[in-house]
Amino acid sequence: MNPGAIGETTTVCALASAFARKHGHPVTIIVPPDHQPVVQMYPNRFLRIVTMPRESMINITYSYLDPLRFELDIPICAHQYELGDGRIDDMQYLLKYPGRGGLTCTDIFRHLLRLPWNTALERPTVPEQFVAEARQFAAKAGIVPDQSVILFPAANSNTRYSQLPDTMWKTVVARLKELGYTVFCNMKGGNHRPATMPVEGAIPIEVPMHLALPLVTIAGRTITSSTGLQFLMLLGGQFRQMTVVVPMQGNFDDYSMNYRTYMAMSPFAQYTLPEMCLNMPLSEFAVPIDGSEKDFTRIGMAIANNDRADINCVKRVGLDGRLYVEENESWLKELIAPLNA
């Protein structure tokens, strides 16, 4: 059972086969109705797929489920924040200490599901029906293959700060158009969004969840907030370039949200999902919410240009001075299925 967000549902699906092998029992998954497309990208993993309103799932999780009970045929909540007993909070903070063997977000799910620490994530498989529908959508919307950019600025995740100002997004779009791209702005989803939607200069489209992966594959490039949908697209890995934009305090302090303490770098996949960053054309930019208009213009240009040398492009460095994912590739690659496997 997962009453949470897209990223959590995706992680459970990516570990479902390993769960069945480890515990010797087929899996019934319960998800909100809007998460069904995610489950459809993991065919033949589940005995049954049950949909339930999110409010009902939360009520069951909080009122009836024992977070410490893990038995066959007994429902469990496979979500680190909704679990209810508080033990995941301290584990989450271990993300801050990678040099001491700190955990990642995917490690936390391995723990929740009682799986070995080296259990590999499986990648989603987009059904042919979704691919065909995406081609029709792209043709109708005017998405030029490999010459388009789809923006996903709205977010529910990482909501401790307000959305980034229009200046930054407008600069991104203007520069992308100068570079010859056709720019689209997804209007669906997200409770936190820029003041102006669509972003000035971008073509508005409404991307259904089941078409996000194949549409980004067609377009070639996406610029997105840190969200569960971005997690799904990153795990899918079928894009030419993904740029993630994260609002942060200028001092990069740790922060509190919903009475929990998080490390400042937790929205960045390089820190919390390192195995998913291997050999991926991924850039992550930190954007200070207390920046000036000049800052937002400069960073917007860097994002559009995918300027990885820019000071606001976050690069996690390992102990030997190389990128962390390069330094630790030998063991990280065992934690995720290869592309096209």
Residue given tokens 């996000």 in the structure block: 212
The residues near 83 (Cβ < 8 Å, ≥ 6 apart) are: 67, 77, 112
Which one is the CATH code of 128-335: 3.40.50.620, 3.40.50.2000, 2.60.40.3500, 1.10.340.30?
A: 3.40.50.2000
Domain boundaries, the chain: 6-112, 128-335
User: Beta-carbon neighbour count of residue 13 at 10 Å?
Assistant: 26
User: Beta-carbon neighbour count of residue 145 at 10 Å?
Assistant: 12
d(CA 173, CA 202): 7
Helix (H, G, I), strand (E, B) or coil at 80: coil
Q: What is the reported pLDDT for 51? A: 94
Q: What is the pLDDT along the chain (341 residues), one digit of tens a residue?
A: 877 789 999 999 999 999 999 998 889 999 999 999 999 999 999 999 999 998 898 888 888 888 778 888 888 888 766 665 566 666 666 666 665 566 788 988 898 899 999 999 999 999 999 999 999 999 999 999 999 999 999 987 655 556 788 999 999 999 999 999 999 999 998 778 888 999 999 999 999 999 999 999 999 999 999 999 999 999 999 999 999 999 887 655 555 544 455 556 778 999 889 999 999 999 999 998 888 999 999 999 999 999 999 999 999 988 889 999 999 999 999 999 999 75
Give the Cα-Cα-Cα angle 120, 122, 126 (nearest 5 degrees).
Answer: 170
d(CA 153, CA 187): 9
Give the Cα-Cα-Cα angle 15, 19, 23 (nearest 5 degrees).
Answer: 170
DSSP string, 284-321: EEEEETT--HHHHHHHHHHHHHT-TTSTTEE--B-TTS
Q: What is the reported pLDDT for 326? A: 94
